[in-house]
A and B are shown apart, each in its own frame.
Chain A
Amino acid sequence: MVQPQQLMAAQILPRRAWLPRWMTSEHPWPWLLPASALMIVFGIYPLLYALWLSLHKRNPVLRKNVFDPAHNWMKAAADDRVWDAIITTFTYTGIALAIQLALGMAIALLLDTDRKGYGILRAMMTLPLVVPPAVTAMMFLLMLDGSFGVLSRALYETGLWSPQLPILATSSSALAGVLLADIWQWTPFMVLIMMAGLRSLPKEPFEAAAIDGATATQAFLRLTLPMMSRVIAIAVLIRGVDLFRIFDYVKVMTDSGPGTATETLTSYAGRIYFTGDFPYASTLSLLTLVLVIVASTLFMRIFRVRL
């Protein structure tokens, strides 16, 4: 038995005299200091610097930046390539999200069973997630190569596609090629999350529905989907943000080409960067950030989801 006096003594004793008071107290800042320092020096400061830079006009002859707050933002608003890039980015994000969500749900339903051997299949399904995106891009670059790519040849031989139009070098199909790489790599993400969602569902409503004679389709639409709405919303939010800032696949597979057919906001900003117009490149990358913030905030408000 611990005596009350001993307990009190124990509470007082271990205070170390040589530590300043704020280190031993319940103050959160010592704990948060390293993280805050990293996020300020490498996150907030560059962000403010980018904002400051975007308010300047680049003089290419003198290679100097002159303060002119509206210049770059007006330029972006009047730049057709920016609008094209925004449309491409939204198209890409929308199509990829829809396909990955639908496929992910279907595959999760398929693999969600306790039967023998399915554990291995589920583990295999996670493997694409760890491939570096640049390597994924390479894989699909190889398989979609116009002359010796195995996927291209399969399409030619089945008559689905003409060898005259190499997939990644044709404006109308290049984006589909890039999407294919994204879908291969990130559908497993959706599968994993949907599977976790399916696992967490209670059994009773489904048993009740089965007794009432509901079909599998009815049970899925009326029970599974509504009960998984939070899980789906979280998955869509995280994936959507990552899709919106796509860079690796486009950079490696098509480098925004052919022409500007696969140019997204990030890849256009990267291209401007290499021309040396840093203020305008900053403006475009901040535009990406603003769109991400607006879209994700709206999404979180509408679907009442919090991470």
Chain B
Amino acid sequence: MEQSLAKRTLRDIAAVSVVGLFMFPLLWWALTSIKPMYAIFDKDRVVWFDFVPTLINYAVVLLGWSRAELAIDSGSTFGVGGTSSYDSRQTMIDSVVISVGSTALTMMIAVFAAYALSRIAFRGRNGYLNWVLGQRFMPPIAIIVPLVTMYKVAGMRDTDNLFLGYVGLIFIHALINLPIAVLLMKSFFDDVPKDVDEAAMIDGATRWQTFGKIVLPMVRGGVAAAAVLCFIFSWTEFLLSLFLTTIIRTVPVKISTFVTSTGSEWGFISALGTAAIVPGFIFILLVQRHLVRGLTLGSLKE
């Protein structure tokens, strides 16, 4: 069907404006992060581009510059006396450790379970799949109260031991991501013909050898896609990271502490917020091809 030029142009305009509308909050956010304070809090007008861009917000948040000195340098006393609680270097490290750790743990556990669920026929297989799916649908809030107690008893919550804190959050993020990883990896294993396994086993490989040396390497792309999704979900997780630790502040939790009743430091918030978005952007562009399958737990393929 040939469409007329006018119709095509109209469609182009509509498409660009819709996507532009969805990009606006991101643009505004990034713009806020390089604005000096006066441009953010202007009560008389909206400041679009007529300001002197500054990276001070990033310096405070990511490099730990003291904001008191900054305020005095710029001739204002606004915010002087505040603590250095905007320094988020430790937060970034914590978030990376937890996301990478939980992704690794999830994937290590998930590939085995997914392979068995895809290949080995056993009684209760459907029941097991329902259990995994149920785990995905369970609201995290349902287990938060006992978990807090468990974590307290295990010394993973109110502790000075950063390592124990990491372990605690890594395990709980792994629990949240496990169903996604298992169901997604199962769908990738299902794509590999069973003949491959049978051929390998006729040639004398055991199940474990077939899995490790032949089938797993064939689904490398799937492993990468699942790992990226796990990383993103762990990186953005909020509720459990908020309740289950008192020493670790992951990025989303840290940002939420920047909102105070006396006024929020939007420059710092948006700087850390922008920095928090960047890894996700890079990763998601890498897995565009498997995104639909990942988001639907392997039930829809593109």
Contacts and interface: CB of A to CB of B under 8 A. Distances in A.
Nearest to A128: B22
Nearest to B201: A11
A217 B205 CA distance: 57
Contact of A31 (B120, B238, B281, B295): B120
Could you tell me the dominant secondary structure of chain A's interface residues? helix
A238 interface: yes
B65 to A, nearest CB: 21
B191 interface: no
B68 interface: no
Contacts of A31: 112-113, 115-116, 120
A64 to B, nearest CB: 14
A124 interface: yes
B97 interface: no
Contact of A39 (B32, B131, B259, B300): B131
B135 A192 contact: no
Interface stretch (A78-86, A91-99, A288-296): A288-296
Given A130-B277, A196-B292, A124 B29 contact: no
A244 B145 contact: no
Contact of A34 (B109, B205, B302): B109
Interface in B25-75: 25-26, 28-29, 32, 40-43, 46
Nearest to B137: A241
A16 to B, nearest CB: 8
A126 interface: yes
B273 A135 contact: yes
A130 B284 contact: yes
A197 B266 CA distance: 40
Interface string B269-290: 1100100110011011100100
B141 interface: yes
B163 interface: no
A126 B142 contact: no
Given A13-B204, A38-B175, A296-B137, A193 B296 contact: yes
B96 interface: no
Contact of A140 (B25, B125, B128, B301): B25
Given A247-B239, A285-B144, A296-B137, A123 B288 contact: yes
Nearest to B106: A38
A121 B142 contact: no
A252 B23 contact: no
B159 interface: no
Given A143-B25, A307-B296, A132 B145 contact: no
Interface in B250-277: 251-253, 255-256, 259, 264, 266, 269-270, 273, 276-277
Contacts of A26: 120, 207
B100 interface: no
A207 B268 CA distance: 55
Interface in A258-300: 266, 269-270, 273, 278, 281-282, 285-286, 288-289, 292-293, 296
B139 A285 contact: yes
Interface string A2-21: 00000100110111100000
Contact of B141 (A142, A197, A270, A306): A270
B252 A129 contact: no
Contacts, number: 270
Contacts of B183: 307
Interface residues of B, number: 100
A266 B147 CA distance: 16
Contacts of A234: 296, 299-300
A47 to B, nearest CB: 6
B209 A14 contact: yes
Contacts of A172: none
Contacts of A7: 202
A107 B284 CA distance: 20
A248 B237 CA distance: 9
Interface in A207-241: 210, 231, 234-235, 238, 241
A192 B295 contact: yes
7 contacts: A31-B116, A38-B175, A38-B178, A138-B269, A153-B46, A273-B144, A307-B133
Interface of A: 7, 10-11, 13-16, 23-24, 26-28, 31-32, 34-36, 38-39, 42-43, 45-47, 49-50, 53, 107, 110-111, 113, 115, 117-118, 121, 123-143, 147-148, 150, 153, 184, 187-189, 192-193, 195-197, 199, 210, 231, 234-235, 238, 241, 244-245, 247-248, 251-252, 266, 269-270, 273, 278, 281-282, 285-286, 288-289, 292-293, 296, 306-307
Interface of B: 1, 8, 11-12, 14-16, 18-19, 22-23, 25-26, 28-29, 32, 40-43, 46, 108-110, 112-113, 115-117, 120, 122, 125, 128, 131-135, 137-147, 149-150, 171-172, 174-175, 178, 182-183, 202-209, 232, 235-236, 238-239, 243, 251-253, 255-256, 259, 264, 266, 269-270, 273, 276-277, 280-281, 283-285, 288, 291-292, 295-297, 299-302
Given A27-B122, A292-B138, A307-B296, 5 more contacts: A11-B202, A50-B143, A131-B280, A142-B269, A192-B295
